[in-house]
Amino acid sequence: MGFIHLCGVPSVSYKHLEYKTKADVLFNFLKTGHSRKHIMTAGTADSTKAIEQVMGTGLVANHCYSILSVHELTVKGKKVKILKLKNPYGGGSVWKGAWGPASDLWTDALRKEVGDDAGTSKEVFWMPFDEYIKLVSFTNVCKYEDDDVHSYASVNKGVSEQSYFEFTIDRSF
């Protein structure tokens, strides 16, 4: 996981196989990460996932996605957990199932509640958490905070000078 090297802050990787029986724990980690504006990603790379199973859903196999937001909605008296994801490479390959772009589950009120812009981007899509935990293999959370003064990673390979890299994180999405 490269977050710790890119940002120099604590990072955690959650393997979904370890959370099959405690999915609520993982969802709460994601909700906390979202509320604290942590950088979160998800990946479909795992030897236990059948490529055909993943690709049949519209997801890309062996691929990473950005997690933009985490929500718990009440729909017809039932709690629904959904995630807003982004395919950073675009290409329009998005989730085809429930709560996806073509789903009839959306109402104008629900879209407004989650701040959805009704599909103005071909890279951004919503996915139910129960499907996410089944089809996505891992979640990474970089515990970067806005008030962090600076971050750096140092690698000593016999080079006489230190190199520093600066990254700008676009939070406009």
Q: Please report, for the chain, the start and end positions of each structural domain, with discontinuous segments joined by +.
A: 10-142
Question: What is the pLDDT at residue 34?
Answer: 93
More confident residue, 37 or 168: 37
As a whole-number percent, the residues of the chain with pLDDT over 90 amount to 24
Question: What is the pLDDT at residue 62?
Answer: 81
Question: What is the pLDDT at residue 48?
Answer: 56
Judge whether residue 121 has pLDDT over 80.
no
| Residues in a beta bridge with 139 | 14, 42
The least confident of 24-28, 51-55, 65-69 is 51-55
Strand bridging mode 39-43 / 64-75: antiparallel
Report, as an integer, the average pLDDT of 47-63. 72
Judge whether residue 173 has pLDDT over 60.
no
More confident residue, 126 or 143: 126
What's the CATH number for 10-142?
3.90.70.10
The SS3 of residue 144 is: coil
pTM score, two decimals? 0.76
The SS3 of residue 17 is: helix
| Residues in a beta bridge with 72 | 81
What contacts 74, CB < 8 A, 6 or more positions away? 80
Report, as an integer, the average pLDDT of 85-93. 79
